[in-house]
């Protein structure tokens, strides 16, 4: 009778997703993909991954790139500390490891931005280390396999899942034509969590290669989606702000955000706290040396971060000619906004509005 791993592997070899980073799983490729996938869906990450690799194909090019280049390549992916940390880690790899990415999870975890899950994913997939890469997916699958009915978001649950998977990982870690056995084990579970043992909905137990090992399926068929137990989170804090698209001579004002805090060091359209009425908006503009010849309310927008939500009111502001010395903003051309300044997706609605306006879809 085939064991847990053999069943999982058979399924994986037939059903694995075709992903660009799996074509040539070098340590750099695996590292980049795992960092991108931390907060980004696979489909969205594909294109970013290829574009990033095209521009920065290896650790040394990443270490040498400017921060603005890295941020621009990351624009739209969010959670920008991920790419900043990658760049810092790349410099460390160049200085301390002669450009070779460390080959154990114990060393990888000491690099900036690489936590327990990511170190295990890189070490198992790229180097064959026998270590489970336990993330939310693997915790969910574990909770169902073992009918774990306590809060899954605790260190105790994590330890149990780690132990469970470690017991079932292949003992022989020698790489074969099918890849690294332990890397395959982790990737098979990732794919199972994506296609079969689904979150927030009934899992497809009829298609599950390891259903015979699943206690919930055996003892409470039809109730698998009740697990894992996740306590209700706190509501998101709301922040209201007014966003200004200040325009003159075909240019639009942008400014760099502070070096610390939310969206640190990225560029934004100037904004003020609160949802300002036109009169207060004009006052704010004058305080910032902008004399509007026209101000028009445009779209409202929202953006949801992990712990907070922005509710934005937008104004298009037309000002007369400007001189760089008098305006405390960067007056950027369309090309510079597209190529040079990294404006996060929190302002995506306003970038889109500008595009529509450019194409005369709105007036």
List the beta strands (DSSP E) in the chain: 237-248, 251-256, 267-268, 271-273, 292-304, 308-319, 330-332
* SS3 state at 303: strand
> Is 35 a binder of ligand SF4 (CB under 6 A)?
no
Q: Which residues pair with 308 in a beta bridge?
A: 237
| Catalytic member of 34, 129, 224, 268 | 34
Of 1-9, 104-112, 178-186, 208-216, which part binds ligand SF4 (CB under 6 A)?
A: 208-216
- Between 226 and 334, name the residue whose CB sits nearer to ligand SF4: 226
- For ligand SF4, what does the binding mask look like between residues 178 and 197, x meaning CB under 6 A? ------------------xx
Under the phi-then-psi rule, with left for phi > 0, alpha for psi from -120 to 50, and beta for the rest, what region is 338?
alpha
Which listed range, 30-38, 209-217, 266-274, 338-346, lies at the site for ligand SF4 (CB under 6 A)? Answer: 209-217
Residues 294-323 that bind ligand SF4 (CB under 6 A): none
* Cis amide leading into 14 (omega within 30): no
**Shorter beta-carbon distance to ligand SF4: residue 179 or 203:** 203
Among 29, 82, 130, 144, binds ligand SF4 (CB under 6 A): 144
Identify which of residues 200 and 306 has a Cβ nearer to ligand SF4 in the complex: 200
Helices (H) and strands (E) in the chain, counts: 16, 7
Residue 138 in contact with ligand SF4, rule: CB under 6 A: no
Binding window for ligand SF4 (CB under 6 A); candidates: 5-13, 43-51, 138-146, 349-357:
138-146
Q: How far apart are CA 204 and CA 226, in angstroms?
A: 14
7 binds ligand SF4 (CB under 6 A): no
Is residue 241 near ligand SF4 by the rule CB under 6 A?
A: no
Buried b (16+ CB within 10 A) or exposed e, 140-164: bbbbbbbbbeeebeeeebbebbbeb
208 near ligand SF4 (CB under 6 A): yes
Q: How far is the CB of 39 from ligand SF4 (least distance, A)?
A: 24
Nearest approach, Cβ of residue 16 and ligand SF4 (Å):
17
The interaxial angle of helices 181-195 and 136-145, nearest 10 deg, is 80
Residue 74 in contact with residue 99, Cβ under 8 Å?
Answer: no
Closest CA to 276 of 240, 245, 252, 303: 240
Residue 287: partners with Cβ closer than 8 Å, 6 or more residues away: none
In total, the chain counts a number of residues equal to 363
Asked if 145 is part of the footprint of ligand SF4 (rule: CB under 6 A), the reply reads yes
Confirm or reject binding of residue 216 to ligand SF4 (CB under 6 A).
yes
Q: Least distance (Å) from ligand SF4 to the CB of residue 144?
A: 4
Instruction: Output the CA–CA distances (angstroms, integers) from residue 61 to 77, 94, 99, 134, in the order listed.
Output: 20, 10, 10, 30
Tokens of 91: 């410099």
Is 143 a residue that touches ligand SF4 (CB under 6 A)? no
Catalytic residue check, 34: yes
CB of 69 or CB of 143, closer to ligand SF4: 143
The reply to whether 344 sits near ligand SF4 by the rule CB under 6 A is no
Provide the binding-site residues for ligand SF4, judged by CB under 6 A: 141, 144-145, 196-197, 203, 205, 208, 210-211, 214, 216-217, 224
Tell me the catalytic residues.
34
């Amino acid at each position: 009778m085939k064991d847990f791993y053999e069943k999982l592997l058979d399924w994986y070899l037939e059903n694995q997703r075709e992903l660009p980073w799996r074509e040539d799983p070098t340590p750099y490729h695996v590292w980049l993909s795992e960092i991108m996938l931390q907060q980004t869906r696979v489909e969205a990450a594909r294109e970013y991954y290829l574009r990033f690799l095209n521009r920065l194909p290896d650790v040394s090019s990443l270490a040498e790139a400017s921060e603005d280049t890295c941020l621009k390549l990351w624009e739209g992916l969010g959670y920008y500390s991920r790419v900043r940390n990658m760049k810092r880690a790349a410099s460390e790899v160049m200085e301390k490891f002669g450009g070779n990415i460390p080959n154990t999870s114990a060393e990888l975890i000491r690099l900036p931005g690489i936590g327990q899950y990511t170190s295990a994913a890189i070490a198992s997939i790229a180097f064959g280390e026998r270590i489970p890469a336990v993330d939310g997916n693997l915790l969910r699958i574990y909770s169902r396999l073992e009918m774990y009915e306590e809060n899954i978001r605790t260190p105790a649950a994590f330890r149990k899942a780690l132990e469970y998977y470690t017991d079932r990982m292949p003992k022989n870690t020698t790489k074969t034509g099918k890849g690294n056995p332990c890397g395959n084990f982790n990737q098979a579970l990732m794919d199972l969590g994506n296609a079969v043992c689904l979150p927030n909905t009934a899992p497809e137990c009829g298609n599950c290669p390891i259903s015979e090992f699943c206690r919930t399926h055996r003892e409470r068929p039809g109730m698998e989606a009740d697990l894992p137990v996740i306590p209700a989170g706190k509501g998101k804090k709301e922040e209201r702000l007014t966003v200004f698209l200040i325009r003159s001579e075909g240019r639009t004002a942008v400014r760099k955000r502070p070096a610390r805090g939310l969206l640190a060091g990225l560029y934004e359209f100037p904004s003020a706290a609160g949802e300002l009425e036109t009169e207060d908006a004009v006052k704010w503009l004058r305080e910032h040396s902008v004399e509007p010849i026209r101000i028009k309310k445009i779209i409202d927008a929202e953006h949801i971060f992990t712990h907070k939500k922005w509710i934005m009111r937008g104004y298009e502001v037309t000002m007369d000619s400007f001189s760089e010395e008098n305006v405390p903003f960067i007056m950027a051309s369309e090309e510079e906004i597209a190529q040079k300044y990294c404006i996060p997706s929190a302002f995506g609605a306003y970038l889109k509005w500008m595009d529509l306006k450019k194409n005369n879809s709105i007036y």
